[in-house]
Amino acid sequence: MSKYIFTSESVTEGHPDKVCDQISDAILDELIKQDPDTHAGIECLATTGLVVVAGEVRTKGYADIAGLVRKTIKEIGYDNSSNGFSGDDCGVIVALDEQSPDIAQGVDKGKGKFKEQGAGDQGLMFGYACRETKELMPLPLMLAHKMAKRLAQVRKNGTLKYLRPDGKTEVAVEYNNGKPTRIDTVVVAAQHNENVSEAKVAKDIIKYVVKPIGGKYLDAKTRYFINATGKFIKGGPPADAGLTGRKIIVDTYGGHGSHGGGCFSGKDPSKVDRSASYMARYIAKNIVAAGLADKCEVQLAYVIGRAEPVSVLVQTFGTGKLPNERLEKIVRQYFPLKPAGIIKHLKLQRPIYKQTAAYGHFGRTETGFTWEKTDLAAKLRKYLK
């Protein structure tokens, strides 16, 4: 299409689902810090006055689960009862069990049918990259993430003291001939206290959140919808129960590209839902950074207990400088695709996961996001000659 609009959304760290993601990854980080070989699948539910932590763990480490839950909730901003939810007085139920031995034998080296470390589950994972932003990410999602993060910043630094932790953003970008040209619509839902008018919230959000991020993409025709229901006082888990892993499109590419369906948070890197998704992004980003394509999607697929991927697919949507089949062979040559190789190459047995649990797992520059490096792009550029 020569002209179209594409929309992506993000949520703040105080959104109920993101509260749960951060709790799951905070627990994972604590265990991996003590035992890098920790295997975990940690799920969380948050609702009115209650957090439930469940799942499976095998580790030599120890974590004060209730203490980590309360600490994480308070760091997000739910630190007093006036916000409707507080880390100090919510109940915490822990129902963690040991990892199934049937799964463990497929992951442990030297056990099971295959002697190499196998994938922790079957599944398909995708990675994506494009030239729309300096992060090589889709523009609508990056704008939505930055506005969501800005909501938290102006709340925490006191610029907008009346804001509370919960919030969502949505950005619709107009494309012409495949290139983003302007922001058509911005939607923001920002939780606030009862002592501020709707008009002031709308004016302040546009001034302090939307315009600093939207910049040159905003114009006289851009539409703004700020707290479209009229007010947003009750928020967080009491308003909408949260669950780990329910924001998988926010976590990845905002609806651009494909998604295999598995979430990331709470899962150690033996789970290819997480580690292979990170590798697929790393591959796609390096291909685009090398100039081999302007847009790239990589699919990896695995069977539980087996190290070699079932399939490797590279799709460049007609922008590739080489045939997709040739790129697939290059990927197999330069990138480790077995779980043990992925974990080693991306240094995934470290406590780096809590920071990934809000504002996206991709397009980030903070320390620890090894899958965002383009360190293999130089080697791939030789194929342009």
* Integer Cα distance of 22 and 142 in angstroms: 20
* Annotation marks residue 15 as catalytic: yes
Among residues 259, 271, 306, 338, which one is catalytic? Answer: 271
3-state DSSP assignment of residue 21 = helix
Among residues 85, 232, 335, 369, which one is catalytic? Answer: 232
* Annotation marks residue 375 as catalytic: no
* Annotation marks residue 251 as catalytic: no
Among residues 25, 43, 135, 184, which one is catalytic? Answer: 43
Among residues 15, 164, 281, 306, which one is catalytic? Answer: 15
Q: Which residues pair with residue 163 across a beta bridge? A: 192
Question: DSSP assignment, residue 142?
Answer: H
* Cβ atoms within 10 Å, residue 187: 19
* Integer Cα distance of 244 and 45 in angstroms: 7
Q: Which pLDDT score, from 0 to 100, does residue 104 have?
A: 61
Q: Residues 137, 129: contact at Cβ < 8 Å?
A: yes
* Annotation marks residue 17 as catalytic: yes
The helix or strand, by DSSP H or E, that contains position 163, with its residue range, turns out to be strand 163-176
Q: Which pLDDT score, from 0 to 100, does residue 108 have?
A: 64
Among residues 35, 240, 308, 328, which one is catalytic? Answer: 240
* Annotation marks residue 168 as catalytic: yes
* Annotation marks residue 246 as catalytic: yes
Q: Which pLDDT score, from 0 to 100, does residue 144 have?
A: 98
Among residues 58, 145, 146, 267, which one is catalytic? Answer: 267
* Annotation marks residue 126 as catalytic: no
* Annotation marks residue 56 as catalytic: yes
* Integer Cα distance of 101 and 203 in angstroms: 56
Q: Which pLDDT score, from 0 to 100, does residue 368 have?
A: 95
Q: Which pLDDT score, from 0 to 100, does residue 1 have?
A: 62
Q: Give ∠ CA 285-286-289 in degrees, rounded to 5.
A: 85
* Annotation marks residue 207 as catalytic: no
Q: Tell me the mean pLDDT per 10 residues along the chain, length 385.
A: 93 98 98 96 97 96 97 96 89 90 62 68 94 98 98 98 97 96 98 96 98 97 96 95 97 95 95 97 98 98 92 97 96 96 97 98 96 97 90
* Annotation marks residue 37 as catalytic: no
* Integer Cα distance of 1 and 101 in angstroms: 51
Q: Which pLDDT score, from 0 to 100, does residue 356 have?
A: 98
* Annotation marks residue 6 as catalytic: no
Among residues 17, 132, 251, 294, which one is catalytic? Answer: 17
* Annotation marks residue 131 as catalytic: no
The upper half-sphere exposure of residue 120, i.e. CA atoms within 13 Å in the direction of its Cβ, equals 24
Q: Which pLDDT score, from 0 to 100, does residue 354 have?
A: 98
Handedness of CA 350, 353, 359, 360 (dihedral sign): positive
Among residues 54, 104, 202, 241, which one is catalytic? Answer: 241
Backbone φ and ψ of 94, nearest 5°? -115, 125
Among residues 6, 18, 29, 189, which one is catalytic? Answer: 18
Among residues 70, 150, 155, 246, which one is catalytic? Answer: 246
